[in-house]
Amino acid sequence: MSDLGPLLGALQLADSFFPSGRYTLSAGLECFATASLLRDAGELEALLRDYVTFVLGASDAVAAAAGARAATESDLPTVMAIDELLFALKLPAESAMSSVRTGRQLLTTAGRLSDDPVVAAYGRRVTDGEAPGNHAVAFGVLAAAWSLSPLQAAAAELHAALTGLLGAALRLTRVDHNDAQGILRRLQPLLSDVAASAAATEYHEMSAFAPTIEIMQMKHETSHLRLFAS
């Protein structure tokens, strides 16, 4: 494949068109909206900055980068260790279950798109219940199979997660597509910095500390009226 191969692979993985089921997730945004805490694009952008910095960047992006690095080295035990730790960091039940559900769907699709032995071996471990199958880890393993670097894997995972959240916000709040594109563009320098930090972080240093976001995710679990799975 040409030098554009990794770029095209990243675009495919990060596209909402990829059938992992992320479009069913709001990651707590639904409860923020119902509590009137997302009244305009400014409040949404501030929340997403926190989400990228303290949750996605500190855990999922690290897992994607570390997973890609381990997969490149055919180090399946480390891939599984990353997976277990990431699952343990997802305190809200819906967050953990959604990550696993979309990760397993990603691996199912990946099995049809790649003959990479690490992707296949990790997929079997997940199917057999030996590993949770978190989305970010599956993303990193598949990214490595498609020749993405750990940094590119982290950046693509962040972009995919952020666009998913913006898509949810379009259905939940008064922001429109122009607002969403503006937010995405303004947050790109943050995504770049966070991806670089994530790629340089050892997986055992992953963290996730955003109490308000986690509380909203927990409230969603018992909400009677909801549009999203999380």
Domain ranges for the chain = 42-220
User: In the prediction, which pLDDT does 227 show?
Assistant: 55
User: In the prediction, which pLDDT does 118 show?
Assistant: 94
User: In the prediction, which pLDDT does 54 show?
Assistant: 92
DSSP labels, 131-142: S---HHHHHHHH
User: In the prediction, which pLDDT does 2 show?
Assistant: 57
Instruction: Name which of 92, 104, 63, 105 is nearest 216 in CA terms.
Output: 92
SS3 (DSSP) at 228: coil
Q: How far apart are the C-alpha atoms of 104 and 138, rounded to whole Å?
A: 8
Contacts of 185 (CB under 8 A, 6+ apart): none
Q: List, for the chain, all residue ranges whose pLDDT scores fall below the cut of 50.
A: 1, 230
Torsion angle of C-alpha atoms 134, 123, 199, 2, degrees rounded to 10: -130
Phi, psi of 3 (to 5 degrees): -65, -15
pTM: 0.90
User: In the prediction, which pLDDT does 220 show?
Assistant: 64
The CATH fold assigned to 42-220 is: Urease accessory protein UreF (1.10.4190)
Question: Token digits for 62?
Answer: 């690290």
User: In the prediction, which pLDDT does 225 show?
Assistant: 58
User: In the prediction, which pLDDT does 61 show?
Assistant: 96
User: In the prediction, which pLDDT does 223 show?
Assistant: 64
Contact 141, 71 (CB under 8 A): yes
User: In the prediction, which pLDDT does 64 show?
Assistant: 97
DSSP labels, 102-129: HHHHHHHHHHHH---HHHHHHHHHHHTT
User: In the prediction, which pLDDT does 156 show?
Assistant: 93
> In this structure, which amino acid lies at residue 217?
Q
